[in-house]
Amino acid sequence: MDNTQEQQVVSMPRIGDPAPEFKAVTTQGEINFPSDYKGSWVILFSHPADFTPVCTSEFMTFASMEDKFAEANCKLVGLSVDGLYSHIAWLRTIKEKIEYRGMKDVEVNFPLIEDITMNVAKAYGMIQPNEDTTKAVRAVFFIDPMGIIRTIIYYPLSLGRNFDELYRVIIALKTADEFGVATPADWRAGDDVIISPAGSCGAAKDRMEGNDSNVDECKDWFFCTKKLDKDMVLNKVLKK
């Protein structure tokens, strides 16, 4: 097989895997990942390049929401394959010159990784050759306090991310962990949650007859829900 027919294999970690370890220079100093973040949730995300408009809009949005993520014990770490000085110049430009959707004078305080070798991007499968061989796609890794990858979301270069969804994912993951439940489509804190299907005929019968105290409503034996008060959920999952 000649070189034109060879397919480049790009590895990427999977949900449930430990987050690949690395040491990196960032705009906030050197970090050891994920060990420096043990005890906190982390969103590790990549962007294609500095001084590009979609990435600029995303960084301004992330920076404006940093305190909101922090309340959920979630830290932000960005990455692109640009160098440190490019990062610094770009972030200064964002603060001094860019206004977007009412956001201005935005200062990015979370670390932005220098990855000119693409070592970190390759370890996380952020380089997708059929999209671009020299830029990272818009990858998002949600990593829990034990350093385990819990959710992965990938976007192409042209598509800016939905930041309400990124925040929703953190709250939903923490709610599932805290209460031992699952969250249905479009779930928000305060909505009903899903209880795991009954594991036996007897349990299914109890649920359908209203004899399971852990269930509030069953549409059928496999589709049962429970109400969780919004304030109770947020009091449990924020600052934890």
User: Residue 12's pLDDT is what?
Assistant: 84
- Asked if 62 contacts 76 with a C-beta cutoff of 8 angstroms, the reply is yes
Both tokens of 51, joined, read 């001084």
The residue to which tokens 């830290």 are assigned: 75
Q: Break the chain into its structural domains and give their ranges.
A: 22-161, 175-237
Cβ neighbours of residue 185 under 8 Å, at least 6 residues apart? none
DSSP secondary structure letters along 75-127: EEEEEESS-HHHHHHHHHHHHHH--BTTB-S----S-EEE-TT-HHHHHTT--
Which fold is adopted by the domain 175-237?
Antioxidant, Horf6; Chain A, domain 2 (3.30.1020)
| Ranges of the chain whose pLDDT falls below 50 | 1-6
Give CATH for domain 22-161. 3.40.30.10
Q: Would residue 74 show up in a list of annotated catalytic residues for this protein?
A: no
> Does 188 count as an annotated binding residue?
no
Which is catalytic among the residues 55, 74, 218, 224? 55
User: Residue 4's pLDDT is what?
Assistant: 45
